[in-house]
Amino acid sequence: MAFFPEGQGRVKLLMLYIIKRFRTPISREQLYTAMAEVDDATFFEASEILAELEKEMYLIAVPARDQHLLYLTERGEELLSTFEMELPRSVRDEMAGYADEHREGIRRSNNIFCDALPRPDGSWQVELALLENGSTLFEIDLHMPDARTANRARENWLRGADSIYLEILTRLSSENGAE
């Protein structure tokens, strides 16, 4: 007869498993959302258990702009590889499906940053950044004449940051950059 963990042990395994299945760092809020969708752990229970996992060094939270991204540590990987088969197959499949369905959206939301702030003269300052593994890969600070233009810049960045970055990089590194 199989043993399936219950209570906090089960929630710890689920958290480690979902972080592993995303194959990209996720924020605390994204983990709480995933847990709420696929498990019945309350926010308070999940946040308490997450703090324990960090304290016990099963995962670390690395600052990245305006949030912290969660990474499994080697110790967390070892614990998970030892006990993940104790989670029922149906639970593992549900978690894997959730991670597969949401991976790209989470990756984009954690790697593409934009902010717009009004300036005293009526113009807007727009900060756009592309992150990789929590570190800034590319950043540009723009001054736009009005809110409409600033919002357009933000929307275009959110839709196409990767291609915009590649275009700028290509032009800046080519022999004929302006052409």
Residue found under tokens 């304290």: 55
Measure CA of the first residue to CA of the last residue in the chain; give whole Å: 69
Burial 97-126 (b: 16+ CB within 10 A, else e): ebbeebeeebeeebbbbbebeeeeeebbeb
Higher-confidence residue of 126 and 108: namely 126
Give residue 117's pLDDT. 94
Handedness of CA 37, 40, 43, 45 (dihedral sign): negative
pLDDT higher than threshold 80 for residue 99: yes
CA 177 to chain centre: 33
The single-letter code of the amino acid at 114 is C
* pLDDT level of residue 63 (50, 70, 90 thresholds): confident
Measuring CA to CA, which residue among 23, 115, 11 is closest to residue 67? 115
Q: What is the mean pLDDT of the chain?
A: 88
The pLDDT assigned to 78 comes to 94
Which two tokens mark 97? 């499906």
Burial of residue 95 (CB within 10 Å: 0-12, 13-18, 19+) is buried
Tokens of 98: 């959730």
Predicted local confidence at residue 87, as pLDDT: 87
Contact 58, 19 (CB under 8 A): no
- The first and second tokens of residue 135, run together, are 């570190």
Residue 6 in this model has a pLDDT that exceeds 70: no
> Is residue 60 scored above 80 in pLDDT?
yes
Name the least confident of 3-7, 56-60, 106-110, 164-168.
Answer: 3-7
Residue appearing with tokens 């052409």: 179
State the average pLDDT over residues 73-82. 94
- 133 falls in which pLDDT band (50, 70, 90)? confident
Domains and CATH numbers, the chain: 7-109 (1.10.10.10), 111-173 (no CATH)
Which pLDDT belongs to residue 27?
Answer: 92
